[in-house]
Amino acid sequence: MASKKLTTYIIAFNFLMALLIFFFSQFVLLLLNGTIVQSIGIFIDYGFPPSNGWPIPTIHAPLLNYPLFVFIFTMIGNVIFMVLMRREKHAELQY
């Protein structure tokens, strides 16, 4: 069984990451308000809706997909916690 301290760290880490994903998602949605999303990947490419049938000529850099990176960091963190739990469990079985 995992120690109480490690379990507390895991719960706190996942709660913090869930909040980060939520707030970064809201931030990205706020930045993309009034735009047309063209593609989503590592970057979010967006454009502006045409006015009076003519496209608006704009130059913009694609937006970094922050929630995706927070999710990847969360998965890596959980794998590290799983390894720590297995080491702790293995150490308990040896005694």
In tens, the pLDDT along 23-64 reads: 999 999 998 888 888 888 999 988 887 777 776 667 778 888
List residues bridging with 63 in a β-sheet: 44
φ and ψ of 37, to 5 deg: -80, 125
Residue 51 tokens, joined: 């006015």
In whole angstroms, give the CA distance from residue 23 to residue 14: 14
pTM of the model: 0.77
- Read off the pLDDT of residues 61-90 as tens digits, 9 standing for 90 and up: 888 899 999 999 999 999 999 999 999 888
Task: To the nearest 10°, report the CA torsion of 63, 68, 74, 80.
Answer: -100
